[in-house]
């Protein structure tokens, strides 16, 4: 004890050294929360000590501003709280999905809060709120009770220490990157965090955003990508002019993105009472199919649909980045809806979840969609035990979209039923499918819940294909899982040795030849259009004509940069796409009349849903949904204002999606 006291007296009175010790402890805590195991954290420290040290230096540099305060202990605790918040948040997220916490989750905070009840019980949320209140109280007490330095702060000395540590940390990071101790590209976000440490990896997601400018970027370089005359003599793409497809006799084109859908029999060590996906499996045998490599695992639905509809790999962007949350909020983009518009197709998006989730109600306008039917425009929606909408409702929505126009339609449908969180206790008392073999009780119940959801999704697939089989127009339907579910899956536990492969099917009702191959998600649309002899859109043309060449991916990334961040040389210097006046829902919501009965007002009309609310001058009034043709108004209004009342579709976070004219 005497030696320990001497050590503390000699070194820890130096506050800079004390801050370094705090940084070491914080990093141990952060990594343990991420790995859910102190043993794995110690293995990380032993295997990659320099990487661990780099993360400690980063934390240390952020803590050093505490030197500027007389209340150094309080300042250190407040700065440490930033890192603890990062560690706790990341640990909680990794307990519920397979991808770690990134800076982009902060931009998704509203979306995350909107579905928190799907993941946590009321009891857990109450405990979390109580803990937050206790933390605030503790901070107040700490501020009042924590000791204050008797001597004045030597600001020059403190500032010099802060600068030296910051510069030294930056230099150490540069050396570590050059030496390969730290990575700057994460092909797999989860593995990136595991191998490089949480603090550094989180910083990378903050600093590395967008698509990097290609070396030698110029008009000549971009226009020189196309050498086969596909874009005319000028090698500049002009929509319509450079599209040579005969649209006659082309089918309706449908894409169905199935939430967390996979073949559970690919997971080692599990057995089931019967096949969870018998219909999908049979369709894979009869129609073109294969593995689809997607950019996400356990989460990231929006990035999968981004890849499929734009032909751009999400891995061109920063780690964990969502184009839907930044660049596509600001600009229009070449996409399948915009491409097929040149051929007279109408385009519809369908999603049985919140319309504002991932900002789709705004982004889909920039992607060229004509309509977007989301949960707020659907009636008779059944829910899972985890409160996600079941997918059976989507057959009706898809058929409504097909019937809404006379010409050909492009429909992109995003399902949600298979979504987690998956329970670790029995939730379904009489399951259609039982897990007969698992590695633990928790795994058994998680998978039993999951396989029963995708079993129902499989039944929906059969219902949809049976309905489309008798439809009087040609239809091609492309189906695939958006990513693997957030379950305890590793590459070693997958029989196909991959966490990034789902399975797709290209179904049709007009007799296409079966042709199996494995594809990347960003290549899927170009492949489908190529089989239909449709060559429209610059990105589709590029993929159809240059796939397999040595510089294929490099040029694909260069085109993506030019389109979204550069000078748009490929379009002659000007973005040719305009945002659409996106119509929410394919069915018009109308007010036929407003009647007064017993002093209460009733609104009669068409296509109301549970999300229909009476509004007056933009203010939402208290409304009771009585059915698809009638609403009751509970608020009192001036009789002179009754004629000005409208009906708005209001999502659960009170955002107004649309209002009647």
- List, for residues 419-457, the tens digit of each pLDDT value: 988 998 999 989 999 999 999 999 999 999 999 999 999
| 611: nearest Cα among 661, 645, 655, 644 | 655
Give the whole-angstrom CA distance, residue 16 versus residue 541: 59
The percentage of residues in the chain with a pLDDT greater than 90, rounded to a whole number, is 68
Q: What is the pLDDT of residue 12?
A: 43
Q: What is the pLDDT of residue 314?
A: 92
- Please return the burial class of 477, using the count of CB atoms within 10 Å of its CB with bins 0-12, 13-18 and 19+: buried
Q: What is the pLDDT of residue 107?
A: 64
Over residues 600-611, mean pLDDT: 95
State pLDDT tens for residues 222-273: 999 999 888 988 899 999 898 877 777 899 999 999 999 999 999 999 999 9
Residues contacting residue 80 through CB under 8 Å, at least 6 positions apart? 22, 26, 63
151 or 264, higher pLDDT: 264
Q: Could you give the C-alpha distances from 402 to 30, 248, 340, 416, in angstroms and in order?
A: 51, 17, 15, 21
pLDDT band at 188 (very low <50, low <70, confident <90, very high): low
Q: What is the pLDDT of residue 307?
A: 97
Which of 46-55, 65-74, 195-204 is predicted with the least confidence, judged by mean pLDDT? 65-74
Q: Does the pLDDT at position 108 exceed 60?
A: no
Q: What is the pLDDT of residue 114?
A: 53
Q: What is the pLDDT of residue 117?
A: 54
DSSP state of 343: T
pLDDT band at 565 (very low <50, low <70, confident <90, very high): very high
State pLDDT tens for residues 375-418: 999 999 999 999 999 999 999 999 999 999 999 999 999 999 99
Strands 409-414 and 346-351: parallel
Q: What is the pLDDT of residue 100?
A: 85
Average pLDDT value over all residues in the chain? 90
State pLDDT tens for residues 511-520: 999 999 999 9
Which of 136-150, 239-253, 630-644 is predicted with the least confidence, judged by mean pLDDT? 136-150
On the CB side of 48, CA atoms within 13 Å amount to: 20
pLDDT band at 4 (very low <50, low <70, confident <90, very high): very low
pLDDT band at 299 (very low <50, low <70, confident <90, very high): confident
Q: Could you give the C-alpha distances from 638 to 273, 600, 614, 620, 642, in angstroms and in order?
A: 62, 12, 14, 15, 7
- Edge to edge, what strands does the sheet with 619-620 contain? 619-620, 612-616, 646-650, 656-659
Q: Does the pLDDT at position 368 exceed 60?
A: yes
């Amino acid at each position: 004890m005497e030696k320990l006291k001497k050590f503390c007296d000699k070194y820890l009175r130096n506050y800079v050294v004390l801050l370094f010790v705090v940084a070491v402890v914080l990093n141990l805590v952060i990594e343990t929360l991420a790995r859910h195991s102190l043993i794995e954290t110690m293995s990380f420290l032993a295997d990659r000590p320099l990487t661990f040290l780099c993360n400690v230096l980063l934390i240390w540099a952020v803590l050093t501003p505490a030197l500027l305060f007389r209340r150094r202990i309080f300042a250190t605790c407040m700065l440490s709280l930033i890192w603890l918040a990062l560690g706790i948040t990341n640990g909680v997220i990794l307990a519920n999905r397979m991808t770690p916490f990134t800076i982009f989750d902060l931009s998704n905070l509203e979306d995350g809060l909107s579905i928190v009840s799907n993941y946590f019980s009321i009891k857990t949320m109450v405990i979390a709120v109580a803990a937050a209140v206790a933390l605030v109280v503790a901070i107040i007490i700490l501020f009042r009770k924590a000791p204050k330095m008797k001597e004045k702060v030597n600001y020059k000395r403190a500032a010099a220490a802060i600068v030296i540590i910051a510069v030294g940390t930056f230099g150490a990071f540069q050396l570590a990157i050059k030496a390969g101790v730290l990575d700057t590209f994460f092909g797999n976000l989860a593995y990136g965090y595991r191998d490089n440490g949480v603090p550094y990896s989180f910083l990378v997601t903050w600093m590395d955003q967008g698509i990097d400018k290609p070396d030698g970027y110029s008009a000549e370089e971009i226009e020189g990508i196309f050498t086969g005359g596909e874009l005319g003599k000028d090698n500049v793409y002009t929509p319509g002019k450079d599209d040579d497809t005969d649209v006659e006799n082309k089918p309706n084109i449908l894409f169905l993105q199935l939430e967390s859908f996979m073949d559970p029999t690919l997971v080692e060590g599990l057995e089931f009472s019967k096949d969870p996906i018998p219909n999908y499996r049979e369709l894979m045998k009869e129609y073109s199919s294969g593995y689809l490599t997607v950019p996400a695992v356990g989460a990231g639905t929006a990035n999968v649909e981004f890849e499929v509809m734009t032909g751009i790999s999400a891995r061109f962007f920063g780690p964990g980045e969502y184009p839907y949350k930044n660049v596509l909020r600001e600009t229009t983009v070449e996409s399948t809806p915009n491409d097929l518009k040149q051929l007279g197709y109408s385009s519809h998006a369908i999603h049985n979840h919140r319309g504002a989730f991932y900002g789709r109600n705004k982004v889909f306008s920039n992607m060229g969609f004509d309509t977007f039917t989301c949960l707020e425009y659907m009636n008779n929606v059944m829910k899972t035990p985890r409160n996600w909408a079941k997918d059976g409702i989507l057959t009706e929505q898809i058929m409504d979209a097909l019937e809404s126009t006379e010409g050909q339609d492009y429909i992109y449908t995003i399902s949600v039923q298979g979504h987690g969180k998956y329970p670790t206790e029995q939730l379904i008392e009489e399951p259609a499918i039982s897990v007969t073999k698992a590695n633990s009780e928790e795994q058994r119940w998680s998978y039993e819940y999951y396989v029963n959801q995708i079993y129902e999704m499989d039944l929906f697939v059969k219902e949809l294909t049976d309905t489309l089989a008798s439809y009087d127009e040609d239809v091609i339907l492309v189906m695939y899982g958006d990513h693997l579910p957030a379950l305890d899956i590793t590459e070693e536990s997958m029989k196909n040795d991959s966490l990034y492969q789902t399975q797709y099917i290209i179904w049709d009702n007009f007799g296409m030849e079966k042709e199996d191959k494995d594809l990347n998600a960003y290549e899927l649309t170009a492949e489908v259009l190529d089989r239909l002899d449709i060559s429209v859109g610059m990105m589709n043309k590029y993929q159809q004509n240059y796939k397999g060449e040595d510089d294929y991916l490099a040029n694909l990334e260069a085109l993506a940069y030019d389109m979204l961040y550069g000078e748009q040389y490929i379009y002659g210097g000007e973005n040719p796409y305009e945002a659409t006046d996106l119509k929410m829902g394919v069915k018009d919501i109308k007010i036929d009349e407003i009647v007064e009965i017993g002093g209460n007002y009733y609104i009669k009309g068409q296509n109301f849903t549970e999300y229909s609310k009476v509004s007056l001058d933009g203010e939402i009034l208290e409304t009771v949904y009585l059915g698809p043709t009638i609403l009751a108004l509970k608020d009192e209004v001036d009789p002179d204002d009754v004629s000005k009342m409208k009906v708005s579709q209001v999502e659960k976070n009170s955002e107004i999606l649309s209002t009647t004219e």
